[in-house]
């Protein structure tokens, strides 16, 4: 298994609560601002979209690239974290 960042480990290990979208691995301040402009201000908003897309990696990564101009690594990091979070908490 590939190594994960501290941000990923922290995100997956805790309840989502009201975390801002920038708490998602792969999402920094620039992408967070773009997501906020698209009305995705909280991590749970992005989780909702992830679930609407049936946790499908190709669809979610494509959505994230289109919505906030994430690159493949950023979108992949976010997908991996949300998928791991779901495995841990749902």
8-63 per-position pLDDT tens digit? 999 999 999 999 999 999 999 999 999 999 999 999 999 999 999 999 999 999 99
Cβ-proximal residues to 57 (8 Å cutoff; 6+ apart), any chain: 76, 79, 83
User: ∠ CA 66-40-8 to the nearest 5 degrees?
Assistant: 85
List all residues 6 or more positions away from 63 whose beta carbon is below 8 Å from its beta carbon.
49, 53
Number of helices (H) and strands (E), helices first, in the chain? 5, 0
Q: Is there a contact between 5 and 77 (Cβ–Cβ < 8 Å)?
A: yes
The number of CA neighbours under 13 Å toward the Cβ of 4 is: 19
Q: What are phi and psi of 87, to 5 degrees?
A: -60, -35
pTM: 0.94
User: What pLDDT, on a 0 to 100 scale, did the predictor assign at position 2?
Assistant: 55
């Amino acid at each position: 298994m590939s190594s994960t960042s501290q941000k990923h480990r922290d995100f997956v290990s805790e309840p989502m609560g009201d975390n801002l979208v920038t708490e998602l691995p792969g999402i920094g301040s620039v992408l967070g601002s773009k997501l906020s402009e698209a009305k995705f201000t909280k991590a749970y908003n992005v989780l909702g979209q992830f679930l609407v897309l049936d946790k499908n990696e190709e669809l979610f990564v494509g959505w994230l690239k289109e919505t906030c101009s994430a690159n493949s690594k950023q979108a992949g990091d976010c997908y991996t974290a949300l998928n791991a979070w779901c495995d841990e908490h749902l």
